[in-house]
Amino acid sequence: MPSINYAYVNGKFLPEAEACVSIFDRGFLYGDGCFETLRLYGGRLFRPLDHFARLFAGLRLLEIESPFSPEELRAVCRALSRWNNVTDGVARIYRTRDSIVVTVQARQFAPRELRVIISNVTLPPFLSRHKTANRLAYLLAQREAESEGADDAILLNSHGSVVELTTSNLFVVKKGQLYTPPLADGPLPGITRAVVLGLARQAGLRVYELSFRPEFLTNAAEIFATNSLLEIAPVLSWGRPGSVTRRLQTAYRQLVREELGL
C-alpha cells in the first residue's frame, strides 16, 4: 500500500489528496501571493532563513501578513519531511492573501544541461524581483521555449537587457571572468545566485554585475543557470561547460555538505 503524503493547509496537516483551498482564494483568482521553493538534502533545508527573508519581503510588497515566524515555518517543513519520509526533495511554501500551503515532496535530481532561446516576452520589472504567484510572463516564455524544442528561455527587460531565465539566474564566463545581470535590471535575487557570487570571489575570480544585451552571449566561453533545485546547470546554446563552471559546481556541493553536516 503506498504511503500517504501530507501537506499543511491553513492550520491543518492533511493528506495531499484532501488538501484544498477556496475557489474564492485571491491567489487562485488573481495570483495575489508569494511562494518559495527550497531544496532538501538528507532531510535538511538549505539556507531556509534566506528563502524565508525573501518570502517575507515579497509579502510586505503585497501587504500580506505571514502567519508564521521563520522558525515556525521551518518547523512545519521539518514535520512534513518526517511524516512524508523525505530525505532528498523539495519544500514549497505558498502564501496568498487568504491561505498558506506548505508541501514537502521527495525528488531525485539528475545533473542537467540546458538549451535555451531568447524569449520575445518582456519581463515586467516591478514583479520580477519577487517570487509572486503571478507567473504568466514566465509561463509564456517557457511555452515559447518548448515550442522551439528548447529547455528554457532568457527574458529581457523593457530596455532590451538580459534579466534571467524562467526559473533561474544567468551567469556568463568570458576570459575567466564572471558576469551576471545586476539586480537593478530586474532579476530575482536568487539564493543560489548569491552563493555562487560569494564562491566565485573566494576562488579569486573577477565578478561583474553588469547590464548586457543578448549579443554578449554569442562569444561566451561558458554560460550557466542557477537556482536552488538545479544548483548550477550549464547552458549549451552558446558556450560549453568549462573549468569555471565545474569549479563552482564542486565548490557549491562542498558548501552544501559542510553547512548541512552531510
Give the model's pLDDT for residue 2: 54
pLDDT, mean of residues 105-121: 96
Residue appearing with cell numbers 531556509: 48
Fold classification of 6-106 is D-amino Acid Aminotransferase; Chain A, domain 1 (3.30.470)
pLDDT tens across 50-70, in order? Answer: 999 999 999 999 999 999 999
Mean of pLDDT values over 84-101: 97
Give pLDDT tens digits for 1-49. Answer: 457 899 999 999 999 999 999 999 999 999 999 999 999 999 999 999 9
CATH topology of domain 116-260: D-amino Acid Aminotransferase; Chain A, domain 2 (3.20.10)
Domain boundaries, the chain: 6-106, 116-260
Averaged pLDDT for residues 168-172: 98
Hey, do 6-106 and 116-260 end up sharing a CATH topology, with the first three levels equal?
A: no
- The cell numbers describing 174, all together, are 568570458
Q: Check if the beta carbon of residue 247 is closer than 8 Å to that of residue 176.
A: no
d(CA 50, CA 131): 13
Q: What is the arithmetic mean of pLDDT over 146-170?
A: 97
